[in-house]
C-alpha cells in the first residue's frame, strides 16, 4: 500500500539530468577518439574525468535516496535508473580506454556508425530525464531508443562479420572485438535505461 | 508487514507458462540448427520470431505487475522471474544467431549435448511454471535443473579443452568459444530461474 | 514507512562473516595455484570445496531472510550483499579452474599482484562483516577497497598490454585473457560488496 505523496523533491530530476549530460560529454569524447589525428591520450584523460564526474553524480543520487523519506518514484526504480545510466558511462569509458590501451590505428568504418548511435542515444536520454517530472512525451523517447538499438545491433553484427572475414589477424580481431563488445554493451545499457523509464511511466499512469 | 491477499489472479501463471513455452520452442530451433543440412537462415529467422514473442510476453508480465494492485507473490520476484526467463531466451537466440553469422560448419559434438541440456531445462521449466500456483512439486524441478547445470558445466569444460587442444586455429576458437559461451550462459540462466522459483517457494512456505 | 526493530538477530552477521571467511580461504588457494610446483589438481579440488561451502552459506542467508519477519537491515540489501559476496567466490573459483583447465604454465608476474589484491580485499571484507552490527569503522573499509580496486585495475591494464605486445601467441592470449578477466571480475565484485555495505551504512546513519 504505497503512499503517493509528491513533495517539491526536484533534486532527483536535476541529478538524473546532470548524469545523462555526463553521458553526452562522454559519447562526444569517444567520437573524437575515432579520429586518428587527435592526441588520444589527452582525450582518454578527459574521458576518465567525465566518468569520474558521472560516478560522483550517481553517488549523490544513491546517498540522497537513502536519506530521503519520500522519493518522487519507487526507491528501487531510482537505484535502477541511476545504476543503468552509470553502466552506459562505464562502457563508453571502457571502449575509449581500450582504443588507447591496444594502440589501435585503423578502426572498421562501421565503428563510427555505432558511436553515432551511442551519441544520439545519450542525447535523447539527456532530453528525456527532465520530462520524468511531468511524465510527458516519454514514449517517443523509448521508441526511438529501441530503433537505435536495432540499428546498433545491425552495425555490431556487420563489424563481427568483417572481423572474421580473414582480413584481420587473430590478435587484431581479439583487440577490435573487445572494443566493439564495449560499444554494443553501451547500446544495450542505453536500452536498459529506456526500459526502466518505461516501467516508471507505466506505474505512474 | 506484507499483506497476503490471494485474488483469482491467474493471469500471471498463464503468462509465465507461455513465456517458458517460448523457451522450449527456441531451444528446439537451436537444436535444429546444429544439423548442417537445414536451411540455417530460415531456422534463424524462426528463432528471431520466437525471441520476439518471448519479449512481448515478458513485456506483458511487467506491465501487468506495474498496473496490478495485488500480485500473487512479491512484485520484485515477478520481475526477477520474468527477466531471468527472458535472459534464457536471449542467450538461446544469441547462440543460434552466432552460428549463422560466423558461418560455422562442423561444430564439436559435445555442443549438441549442451543444447540437449538446454532443451531439457526449458521443458522442465515450462512444466514447473503452472505449479507455481499451488507451489507443489517444485523442489523436484530445481533439483533436476541443478543436476542439468552440472552436466552442462562438464560439457562446457570439455569443449573448452578441445577448442584449445591445438586442433583449431585461433580465429576458429574465437568463433566457437563465442557460441559455447552463449550456451553456457543459457544454462546458467536456467539455473537462475530455478533459484528464483526456490526463493518464491521458501517465502510462501 | 519502515519499522526499525532491532531484535537479537545476530545470525545474519555471523553468516556474512562466515561467507567472507570462505572468500579468504578461496583467495589463499588461488594464490597457491600460481606456484607451478604445487599439485594444481589438488588445489583446484580444495577450491571447489570452498566454493561449495560458500554456496551453502549463501543459501542459508537467503533462506533465513525469506523466513524471518524482522531483519537487521533491508531485505533487498541482505540479498544484494549475500549475492555479491557469492559472486567474488565464483570468480575466484573460475580463475583457479581455468588455470588448471588451460594447463597454463608460466603466468605473467603481474597476475600474482592481482591475486594479492584479491587476497587483501577478501581479508578486509571478512574483517568488516562483524562491524556491520555496530556500523563502526566501515568507511575505512570501503575506502581501502576502492584503493585496492584502482591498483587491481592498473595491474589488469598492464597485463593486457603485455598479452598483446606480440610476446604471446593468439591462443595463449585467449587463455590468459580468460584468467585475467576472471581476476578483474573478482576485484570488481569486491568493490560491489563494499558499495553495498556503504549503502547499508548510509541508510542506517
- The CATH number linked to A128 is 1.20.58.220
Q: What is the pLDDT of residue B28?
A: 98
Residue C5 — very low, low, confident or very high, per pLDDT cuts 50/70/90?
very low
d(CA C156, CA C144): 18
Number of structural domains, chain A?
A: 1
- Label residue A162 exposed, middle or buried (CB < 10 Å: 0-12, 13-18, 19+): middle
Give pLDDT, residue A5.
46
pLDDT at C4 over 60: no
From chain C, the residues in CB contact with A169 under 8 A are 170
C202 touches B: beta carbon within 8 Å: no
User: Is residue B4 included in any domain, yes or no?
Assistant: no
Asked, for residue C6, whether it belongs to a domain, the answer is: no
The mean per-residue pLDDT over the stretch B30-55 comes to 94
Question: Is residue B33 within 8 Å of residue B40, measured between CB atoms?
Answer: yes
Q: Check whether C129 has a pLDDT greater than 60.
A: yes
Residue C56 in contact with partner chain B when CB distance is under 8 A: no
* Calpha distance A170→A176 (Å, rounded): 10
pLDDT of residue A180: 96
pLDDT value for C66: 82
Q: Please provide the distance, in angstroms rounded to a whole number, between the alpha carbons at the two ends of chain C.
A: 17
**Could you give the count of Cα atoms lying within 13 Å of A81 in the half-sphere of its Cβ?**
29
Residue B8: pLDDT band with limits 50, 70, 90? very low
**Does A76 lie at the interface with B, CB-CB under 8 angstroms?**
yes
- DSSP characters for B157-198? HHHHHHHTTTSS-HHHHHHHHHHHHHHHHHHHHHHHHHHHHH
Closest Cβ–Cβ partner in C76, C173, C203 for A171: C173
Task: Give me chain A's average pLDDT, please.
Answer: 91
Residues 6+ positions from A5 with CB-CB distance below 8 Å: A70
Mean pLDDT is lowest, of A27-31, B169-173, C34-38, C125-129, for C34-38
Residue B138 placed within a domain: yes
Contact C174 A174 (CB under 8 A): yes
Residue where the block lists cell 528446439: B28
Are B131 and B152 contacting, i.e. CB atoms less than 8 angstroms apart? no
Is residue C5 situated within a structural domain? Answer: no
Provide ipTM, 2 decimals. Answer: 0.83
Whether C20 has a pLDDT exceeding 80, the answer reads: yes
Q: Do C170 and A175 touch (CB under 8 A)?
A: no
Determine, yes or no, domain membership for C3: no
Residue C1 pLDDT greater than 50, yes or no: no
C-alpha A163/C-alpha C170 separation (Å) is 15
Q: At residue B4, does pLDDT exceed 60?
A: no
| Whether pLDDT at C180 is above 60 | yes
Contacts of C170 in chain A (CB under 8 A): 169-171, 174
Q: Is C87 within a domain? A: yes
**Which percentage of chain C shows pLDDT scores above 90?**
74
Tens digits of per-residue pLDDT, C185-203? Answer: 999 999 999 999 998 988 8
Mutate to test the interface with B, among A160, A169, A194 (most CBs of B within 10 A): A160
- pLDDT category at C91 given cuts 50, 70, 90 is very high
- The contacts of residue C188 (CB under 8 Å, 6+ apart) are C149
Dump the DSSP string for C78-89: HHHHHHHHHHHH
Average pLDDT, chain B: 91
Tell me, yes or no, if A202 comes closer than 8 A to chain C by beta carbon. Answer: no
pLDDT in tens, B110-152: 899 999 999 999 999 999 999 999 998 899 999 999 999 999 9
pLDDT of residue A128: 97
> What pLDDT was estimated at residue A170?
94
Which cell numbers in the block locate residue A90? 562505464
Min Cα separation B168/chain C (Å)? 10
> Is C195 part of a structural domain of the chain?
yes
Higher-confidence position of A63 and B163: B163
Length of chain B: 205
Confidence tier at C8 by pLDDT (50, 70, 90): very low
Domain ranges, residue C46: 11-204
Q: What is chain A's pLDDT, residue by residue, as a tens digit (205 residues)?
A: 444 445 446 889 999 999 999 999 999 999 999 888 899 999 999 999 999 999 999 999 988 888 887 888 888 899 999 999 999 999 999 999 999 999 888 788 889 999 999 999 999 999 999 999 999 889 999 999 999 999 999 999 999 999 999 899 999 999 999 999 999 999 999 999 999 999 898 887 7
* Residue B5 covered by a domain: no
**Tens-place pLDDT, residues B51-86:** 999 999 999 998 888 888 788 888 889 999 999 999
User: pLDDT class for C69, splitting at 50, 70, 90?
Assistant: confident
* A186-197 tens-digit pLDDT: 999 999 999 999
Residue C58: band (very low, low, confident or very high) from pLDDT cuts 50, 70, 90: very high
Chain A positions in Cβ-Cβ contact with residue C177 (cut-off 8 Å) = 174
Amino acid at each position: 500500500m504505497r503512499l503517493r505523496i509528491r513533495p517539491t523533491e526536484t533534486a532527483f530530476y536535476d541529478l538524473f539530468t546532470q548524469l545523462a549530460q555526463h553521458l553526452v560529454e562522454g559519447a562526444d569524447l569517444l567520437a573524437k577518439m575515432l579520429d586518428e589525428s587527435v592526441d588520444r591520450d589527452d582525450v582518454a584523460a578527459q574521458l576518465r574525468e567525465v566518468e569520474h564526474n558521472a560516478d560522483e553524480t550517481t553517488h549523490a543520487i544513491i546517498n540522497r535516496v537513502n536519506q530521503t523519506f519520500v522519493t518522487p518514484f519507487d526507491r528501487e526504480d531510482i537505484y535502477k535508473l541511476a545504476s543503468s545510466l552509470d553502466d552506459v558511462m562505464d562502457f563508453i569509458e571502457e571502449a575509449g580506454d581500450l582504443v588507447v590501451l591496444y594502440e589501435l590505428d585503423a578502426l572498421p568504418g562501421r565503428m563510427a556508425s555505432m558511436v553515432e548511435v551511442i551519441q544520439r542515444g545519450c542525447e535523447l536520454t539527456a532530453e528525456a530525464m527532465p520530462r520524468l517530472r511531468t511524465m510527458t512525451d516519454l514514449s517517443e523517447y523509448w521508441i526511438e531508443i529501441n530503433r537505435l538499438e536495432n540499428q546498433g545491433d545491425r552495425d555490431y553484427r556487420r563489424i563481427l562479420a568483417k572481423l572474421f572475414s580473414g582480413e584481420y589477424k587473430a590478435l587484431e580481431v581479439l583487440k577490435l572485438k573487445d572494443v566493439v563488445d564495449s560499444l554494443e554493451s553501451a547500446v544495450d545499457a542505453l536500452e536498459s535505461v529506456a526500459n526502466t523509464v518505461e516501467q516508471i511511466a507505466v506505474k505512474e499512469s
